């Protein structure tokens, strides 16, 4: 099988799995226990936390470990329920783990406003001051979009909000979902001026069951418990999964340049192949047909490409590719209601209906090869395009 759905989940890196296995057998005690072996686990966690903080340019006590990025996003969003309803700004492309809890807030009387985006899915920073008012308390904008690969101008938004916040009594909290950004672009939490950010282990080759919430300043969570992770995420720490997450984070940050070059070369090969297929049949590069834009890492992540092969529906395309030995996504595979989500994102991107219904997401990882891209292009040329013509 050729696996080209790394944005959904990355196969576990054997090295990271070994780190987890070693950790589970070495650090067997609860880190909250006060006897020496428990405290040794707590110390081990602290030392690792310090290493991760250095790599992400933050402080160790600004890191909260949790189990999934969905949980991390929810902790931040639900914390606003401690306040009287006000206004929140978000991007229309957010992952369901941000979009859905914001819908809940809406039902509870909050106003949720979508920031205007351009045809590449990027938030128009200049228009942000027009949608902020005295009731605005938070801004949620993902860094790299898991559907389109669009890179948002997080640092520019962060700097703008910092400036606006200087003149306000009530600060606007800036949260960014950086799940698809870690290991694909540079992350400097201090420079990016976010108040909080989320990351997930299973997107970077670590074992599942760990994630991270960066919090510049502590917030008051809606739920409570044993008070672990400074009371922000109560529940016994999954030390083995956290160790695997930290190992994979440090590895992917260390290998960033090498991986970016690799992804970009695969993406270039894929785009060139699709451009040449366009002469024979209908196939689209999304969200723009301009290869130079798509290959510019400031605008689009190098690990992901969205395409469309109308009039074949995404679901049919995914099954066809699967039957030919290629696993790709018709959208956000980790979302159970991915069809609805695809529709929401496609509408925000203003794709026409034919294209919206036939989108595919191809995403690579560090072990993806040029031969796999060639095979994918061959399958598109020899099997898929003919079917699309007859459909």
Give the binding site for ligand PLP (CB under 6 A): 68-70, 95, 97, 142, 146, 177, 179-180, 200, 211, 332, 334
User: What span, in angstroms and rounded, lies between the C-alpha atoms of 193 and 324?
Assistant: 45
Instruction: Provide the minimum distance between the beta carbon of 371 and ligand PLP in the complex, in angstroms, as a whole number.
Output: 27
Any idea how long the chain is?
Answer: 391
Closer by beta carbon to ligand PLP, 171 or else 208? 208
Closer by beta carbon to ligand PLP, 42 or else 366? 366
Closer by beta carbon to ligand PLP, 93 or else 379? 93
- Kindly state the tokens that stand for 186: 């540079």
Closer by beta carbon to ligand PLP, 41 or else 211? 211
Instruction: Provide the minimum distance between the beta carbon of 70 and ligand PLP in the complex, in angstroms, as a whole number.
Output: 3
Instruction: Provide the minimum distance between the beta carbon of 240 and ligand PLP in the complex, in angstroms, as a whole number.
Output: 17
Closer by beta carbon to ligand PLP, 88 or else 211? 211
Closer by beta carbon to ligand PLP, 85 or else 209? 209
Instruction: Provide the minimum distance between the beta carbon of 222 and ligand PLP in the complex, in angstroms, as a whole number.
Output: 18
The Cα-based distances of 33 to 63, 81, 110, 215, 226 in angstroms read 21, 32, 41, 25, 12
**Tokens 């040794």 map to which residue?**
40
Closer by beta carbon to ligand PLP, 200 or else 260? 200
Instruction: Provide the minimum distance between the beta carbon of 177 and ligand PLP in the complex, in angstroms, as a whole number.
Output: 5
User: What span, in angstroms and rounded, lies between the C-alpha atoms of 249 and 234?
Assistant: 23
Closer by beta carbon to ligand PLP, 211 or else 360? 211
The Cα-based distances of 252 to 206, 256, 323 in angstroms read 10, 6, 32
Instruction: Provide the minimum distance between the beta carbon of 178 and ligand PLP in the complex, in angstroms, as a whole number.
Output: 8
Closer by beta carbon to ligand PLP, 66 or else 317? 66
Instruction: Provide the minimum distance between the beta carbon of 126 and ligand PLP in the complex, in angstroms, as a whole number.
Output: 25
Closer by beta carbon to ligand PLP, 200 or else 228? 200
SS (H, E, C) the chain: CEECECCCCCCCCHHHHHHHHHHHHHCCCCCCCCCHHHHHHHHHHHHHHHHHHHHHCCCHHHEEEECCHHHHHHHHHHHHHHCCCCEEEECCCCCHHHHHHHHHHHHCCCEEEECCECCCCCECHHHHHHHCCCCEEEEECCCECCCCCEECCHHHHHHHHHHHHHCCCCCCEEEEECCCCECCECCCHHHHCCCEEEEEHHHCCCCCCCEEEEECCCCCCCCCCCCCHHHCCCCCCCHHHHHHHHHHHHHHHHCHHHHHHHHHHHHHHHHHHHHHHCCCCCCEEECCCCHHHHCCCCCECCCEEEEECCCCCHHHHHHHHHHCCEECECCCCCCCCHHHHHHHHHHHCCCCHHHHCCEEEEECCCCCCHHHHHHHHHHHHHHHHHHHHHC
Instruction: Provide the minimum distance between the beta carbon of 150 and ligand PLP in the complex, in angstroms, as a whole number.
Output: 11
Instruction: Provide the minimum distance between the beta carbon of 302 and ligand PLP in the complex, in angstroms, as a whole number.
Output: 16
Instruction: Provide the minimum distance between the beta carbon of 361 and ligand PLP in the complex, in angstroms, as a whole number.
Output: 10
């Amino acid at each position: 099988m050729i696996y080209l759905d790394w944005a959904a989940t990355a196969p576990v890196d054997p090295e990271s799995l070994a780190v987890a296995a070693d950790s589970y057998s070495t650090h067997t005690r609860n880190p909250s226990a006060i006897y020496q072996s428990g405290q040794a686990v707590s110390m081990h966690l602290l030392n690792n936390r310090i290493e991760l903080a250095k790599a992400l340019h933050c402080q160790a006590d600004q890191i909260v470990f949790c189990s999934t990025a969905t949980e991390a996003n929810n902790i931040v969003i639900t914390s606003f329920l401690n306040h009287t309803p006000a206004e929140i700004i978000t991007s229309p492309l957010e992952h369901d783990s941000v979009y859905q809890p914001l819908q809940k807030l809406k039902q509870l009387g909050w106003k949720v406003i979508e920031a205007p985006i351009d045809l590449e899915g990027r938030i128009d920073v200049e228009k942000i001051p027009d949608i902020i008012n005295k009731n605005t308390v938070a801004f949620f904008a993902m860094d790299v979009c898991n559907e389109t690969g669009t890179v948002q101008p997080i640092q520019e938004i962060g700097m703008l909000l910092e400036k606006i916040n200087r003149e306000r009594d009530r600060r606007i909290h800036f949260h960014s979902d950086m799940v698809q950004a870690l290991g694909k672009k540079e992350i400097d939490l201090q420079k990016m001026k976010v108040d909080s950010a989320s990351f997930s282990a299973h997107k970077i080759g670590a074992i599942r069951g760990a994630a991270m919430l960066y919090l510049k300043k502590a917030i008051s969570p809606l739920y409570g418990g044993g008070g672990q992770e400074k009371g922000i995420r109560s529940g016994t720490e999954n030390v083995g999964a956290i160790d695997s997450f930290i190992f994979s984070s440090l590895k992917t940050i260390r290998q960033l340049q090498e991986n970016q070059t690799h992804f970009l070369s695969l993406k270039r090969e894929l785009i060139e192949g699709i451009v040449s297929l366009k002469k024979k049949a209908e196939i689209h590069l999304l969200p723009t047909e301009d290869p130079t834009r798509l290959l510019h890492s400031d605008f689009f992540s190098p690990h992901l490409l969205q395409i469309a092969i109308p009039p074949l529906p995404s679901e049919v395309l995914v099954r066809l590719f699967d039957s030919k030995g290629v696993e790709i996504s018709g959208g956000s595979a980790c979302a159970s209601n991915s069809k609805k989500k695809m529709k929401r994102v496609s509408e925000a991107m203003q794709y026409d209906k034919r294209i919206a219904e036939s989108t595919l997401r191809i995403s690579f990882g560090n072990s993806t090869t040029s031969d796999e891209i060639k095979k994918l292009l061959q399958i598109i040329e020899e099997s898929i395009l003919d079917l699309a013509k007859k459909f």
